[in-house]
Amino acid sequence: MTVSADLQQLLARVALGDRVAFRRLYDATAPSLFGVALRIVRQRDRAEEVLQDAFVNAWNRAAGYQAALSQPMTWLTAIVRNRALDELRSGARHRAESLEDRESGAAREIEDERPNPLRLLEQAADALAIRDCLDAIDGPQRQCLALVYYHGLSHSEVAGHIDSPIGSVKVWLRRGLDKLKRCLESLA
């Protein structure tokens, strides 16, 4: 059985509330997912918090995982990446709010930032559109896009990973992004 199939089985058991399967899923995926979070937030303590939040999210959303739509690591990496980006945005927002609070001396009411059901549906539709457009891109362009987007690798890291010149990686990324853009624009 492949690693992907093992992870799919673990996710299915997690969806049923199996804590042992959740622990095994964590042990199998946390090191590489931590690397994704760390590359994005660039601080170990923030990356640990992102990883913890992402696994809570995975525990709560495991029943929604569909193996036909993505590989388990792709799904988990997307959760970590999105949470890390949220962390970056919230850090910038908190700094701006603390400056405003100090200037006005007033306490501000904290808004619920969770997406509403309509926004969740829009995000799911966007994810499917992106996946369909990525499926239309082939070869090294798709591989480079996946390594940059899902794994947070830099251009030089991608070049080392796929053993290709950095100039080629940059061209493939640019062409892949152009194809992705055209595809998404045609869907809009």
User: What's the rounded mean pLDDT across residues 135-159?
Assistant: 86
Taking only the tens place, the pLDDT of each residue in 93-105 is 555 555 555 555 5
Give the integer Cα–Cα distance in Å for 175 and 40: 24
Provide CB contacts within 8 A for 32, sequence distance 6+. Answer: 73
pLDDT at 160 over 60: yes
Taking only the tens place, the pLDDT of each residue in 10-35 is 999 999 999 999 999 999 999 999 99
